[in-house]
């Protein structure tokens, strides 16, 4: 491979205004109709702005929306699995040609947008196709059901990229754009890079997957999602402390990079696995770890549905190589991490702990076994759980 992997669609998008342009946009925004974004929409806007959602230059129009829902494709023919929409209440919708000021949930002016399309938010098309269920107990379905019925499509010009630079989850020292991670990869001489997506602390099974991937590529990007997640997920600032400690103690520094991804979770299982892979392609990653029930929630998706979906797609257009791993766990007999591919199944041999069980143990100040999580990580999690 010569040079880094091309971004999705061939061009890395950058919708962040120059300082002079941002000043002019800020002045203009004072005279424009104001739209207050949800946390998910604000995350999506940041991902569009920095090129993480390349080739998107703004929120989707009707043709892209319908193509994504039905065929997982944009009008350009490029694969894209999940709609990126700006939906509002019908009475708040501006007209085509209007410019509007987009404000983050904390009130910060985030961008100015030119309205190119106004169309109906067809939730009956989106929900069953994207989530494979219409059950409103599913957090992604519930989120879409609560969104507006009218969608605004159009390009954005971004004034403020990180809308909460003083907040605990800004992580400015680890907040790298796709252009910046690509520059780091080039500086380090990494032509092949594997990435690990996570919204949880990294336990022994996750660590095993990361190290297997590192063996076959030049470097590893640990790329936790720090945008909007559902209630009950461990806060991003706690997770970041866990990642840093684990990397310091158990990973090779010059082969590992930790940066954050400011995206919102959809919990869309297979389709979200594809989205996560395309995002990492834009960050310069060549190999993407897809484990058991990637981006899933509850029992809405089969154990390996998120891996199997890649077999239905055009490999050349996806571009990035999915690394499909079996469920891994600690084997008492093997005295190490194993999977169904590497070690025979013996009744009672492997140590499995559910997320619910781990949270119960932590809340009681009980340490999960070392076969499940590193002791340094357990210390941090116990401290968090017992202080809540």
Give catalytic residue positions: 199-200
- Both tokens of 337, joined, read 């991490």
Which element (helix H / strand E) includes 323? Answer: strand 321-324
CA distance 108 to 99: 17
41: left (phi over 0), alpha (psi -120 to 50) or beta: alpha
Q: Are 33 and 101 in contact (CB under 8 A)?
A: yes
CA distance 358 to 370: 12
Count H helices and E strands in the chain, helices first. 13, 15
CA distance 275 to 140: 15
In this structure, how many other beta carbons lie within 10 angstroms of the beta carbon of residue 75? 15
Q: Where are the alpha helices (DSSP H) in 252-303?
A: 270-282
Q: What angle do CA 320, 195, 158 make, to 5 degrees?
A: 85
User: If DSSP codes are grouped into helix, strand and coil, which group holds residue 226?
Assistant: coil
Pick from 227, 228, 268, 226: which is nearest to 83 by CA? 268
């Amino acid at each position: 491979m010569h040079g880094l992997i091309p971004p999705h669609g061939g061009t890395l998008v950058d919708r962040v205004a120059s300082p002079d342009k941002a000043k002019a946009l800020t002045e203009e925004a004072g005279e424009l109709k104001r739209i207050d974004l949800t946390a998910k929409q604000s995350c999506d806007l940041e991902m569009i702005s920095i090129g993480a959602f390349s080739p998107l230059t703004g929120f989707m129009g009707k043709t892209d929306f319908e193509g994504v829902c039905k065929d997982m494709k944009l009008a350009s023919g490029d694969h894209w699995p999940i709609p990126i929409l700006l939906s509002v209440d019908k009475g708040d919708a501006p007209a085509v040609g209007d410019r509007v000021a987009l404000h983050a949930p904390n009130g910060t002016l985030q961008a100015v947008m030119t309205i190119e399309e106004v169309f109906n938010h067809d939730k009956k098309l989106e929900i069953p196709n994207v989530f494979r269920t219409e059950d409103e107990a599913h957090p992604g379905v519930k989120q879409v059901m609560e969104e507006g019925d009218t969608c605004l499509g159009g390009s954005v010009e971004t004034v403020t990229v990180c809308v909460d630079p003083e907040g605990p989850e800004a992580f400015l020292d680890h907040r790298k754009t796709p252009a910046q991670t690509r520059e780091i990869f080039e500086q380090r001489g990494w032509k092949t890079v594997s990435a690990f997506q996570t919204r949880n602390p990294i336990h022994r099974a996750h660590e095993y997957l990361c190290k297997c991937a590192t063996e076959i590529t030049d470097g590893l990007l640990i790329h936790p999602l720090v945008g909007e997640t559902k209630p009950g997920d461990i806060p991003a600032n706690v997770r970041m402390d866990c990642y840093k400690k684990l990397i310091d103690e158990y990973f090779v520094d010059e082969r590992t990079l930790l940066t954050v991804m400011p995206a919102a979770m959809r919990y869309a299982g297979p389709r979200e696995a594809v989205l996560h892979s395309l995002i990492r392609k834009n960050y310069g990653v060549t190999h993407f770890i897809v484990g058991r029930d990637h981006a899933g929630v509850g029992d809405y998706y089969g154990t390996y549905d998120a891996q199997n979906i890649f077999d239905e797609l055009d490999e050349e257009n996806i571009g990035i190589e999915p690394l499909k791993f079996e469920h891994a766990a600690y084997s008492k007999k093997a005295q190490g991490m194993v999977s169904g591919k590497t070690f025979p199944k013996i009744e009672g041999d492997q140590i499995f702990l559910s997320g619910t069980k781990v949270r119960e143990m932590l809340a009681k100040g009980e340490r999960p076994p070392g076969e499940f999580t590193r002791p340094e990580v357990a210390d941090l999690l116990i401290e968090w759980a017992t202080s809540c």
